[in-house]
């Protein structure tokens, strides 16, 4: 009985700690309305780029930065909450014995996920993809030992126009009529000498297809 009473006391203290951690997390986490407003600002800035590219790009960068700040704040609050709860549960101790796993990881089949899926892409990707076909070519640049083609959109230079070989056949090889599809790749971010390129690419096919990859060709979103 004495041991049970001590455990009950630890349980009460832990419950108070968890409740406090929840209140702190609730205060530190951005509200759904804040996320909705930030997302609306990103979409509005993306639409503005079609009307006023320069102003739209500036507002888009600010809006995405604001959204990223909210996201980071939410992640930090969640991490702190889980840390506090884990510590509280650890302090409770026995007889709170963890339940055994109902299955090991080896018992759960891995369901393969295809590299291509349909979905939404960031507004600036939509905008750039629409501008690329008519974008004037720029002078080639050398990245390492490789010469890359470039193009201009709104007086900003981008790397793009080189063939995408589709070596792993992640994208369709032929169109509906059986004709081969050739692809070309384009950077999402403007070219800045001396700054490494990120992993975001727009890939466009001769059949009119458009894909976006944010992990350097591991997965693609068709849009």
* Dihedral, CA of residue 9, residue 10, residue 12 and residue 15, to nearest 10: 180
Once rounded to an integer, what is the mean pLDDT over residues 10-20?
Answer: 75
Predicted local distance difference test score (pLDDT) of residue 107: 64
Q: How confident is the model over 107-125, as pLDDT tens digits?
A: 666 655 568 998 899 999 9
Check pLDDT > 80 for residue 106: no
Query: In whole angstroms, how far apart are CA 150 and each of 80, 138, 142, 188, 203?
Result: 45, 5, 10, 12, 14
Q: How confident is the model over 165-174, as pLDDT tens digits?
A: 999 999 999 9
Phi, psi of 165 (to 5 degrees): -75, -20
Q: Which of 4-13, 153-162, 195-204 has the lowest mean pLDDT?
A: 4-13
Q: Which of 46-60, 79-93, 168-182 has the lowest mean pLDDT?
A: 79-93
Greatest Cα pair distance in the chain: 83
Q: Which residue has the higher pLDDT, 15 or 30?
A: 30
Check pLDDT > 70 for residue 5: no
Check pLDDT > 90 for residue 135: yes
Contact residues for 139 (Cβ-Cβ < 8 A; gap 6+): 150
Q: Which residue has the higher pLDDT, 12 or 172?
A: 172
Cis peptide before 108 (omega within 30 of 0): no
Query: The tokens of 7 are what?
Result: 């455990």
- Between CA 203 and CA 68 the distance in angstroms is 25
- For the segment(s) 123-222, the CATH number from 3.10.450, 3.40.390, 1.10.4190, 3.40.1350 is 3.10.450
Predicted local distance difference test score (pLDDT) of residue 105: 61
Predicted local distance difference test score (pLDDT) of residue 95: 55
Check pLDDT > 70 for residue 197: yes
The H-or-E segment that residue 142 falls in is strand 137-143
Predicted local distance difference test score (pLDDT) of residue 17: 75
Classified as helix, coil or strand, 59 is helix
Classified as helix, coil or strand, 7 is helix
Burial 150-187, CB ≥16 within 10 A → b, else e: bbbbeeebbbbbeebebeeebbbeeeeeeeeeebbbbb
CA 158 to chain centre: 21
Q: What does the domain layout of the chain look like in residue ranges?
A: 1-92, 123-222
pTM comes to 0.52
Check pLDDT > 60 for residue 63: yes
- Between CA 151 and CA 138 the distance in angstroms is 5
């Amino acid at each position: 009985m004495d041991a049970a009473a001590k455990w009950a006391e630890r349980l009460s203290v832990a419950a108070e700690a968890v409740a406090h951690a929840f209140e702190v997390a609730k205060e530190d986490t951005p509200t759904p309305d804040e996320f909705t407003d930030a997302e609306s600002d990103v979409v509005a800035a993306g639409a503005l780029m079609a009307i006023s590219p320069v102003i739209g790009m500036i507002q888009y960068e600010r809006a995405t930065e604001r959204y990223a700040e909210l996201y980071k704040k939410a992640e930090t609050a969640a991490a702190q909450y889980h840390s506090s709860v884990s510590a509280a549960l650890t302090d409770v101790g026995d007889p709170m014995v963890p339940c055994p796993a109902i299955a090991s990881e080896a018992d759960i089949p891995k369901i393969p996920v295809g590299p291509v899926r349909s979905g939404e892409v960031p507004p600036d990707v939509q905008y750039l993809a629409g501008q690329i076909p008519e974008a004037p070519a720029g002078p080639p640049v050398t990245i390492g030992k490789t010469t890359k083609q470039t193009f201009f959109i709104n007086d900003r230079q981008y790397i793009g126009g080189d063939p995408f070989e589709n070596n792993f056949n992640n994208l369709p090889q032929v169109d509906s009529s059986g004709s081969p599809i050739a692809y070309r790749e384009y950077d999402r971010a403007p070219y800045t000498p001396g700054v490494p390129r990120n992993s975001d690419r727009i890939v466009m096919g001769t059949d009119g297809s458009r894909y976006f990859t944010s992990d350097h060709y591991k997965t693609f979103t068709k849009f």
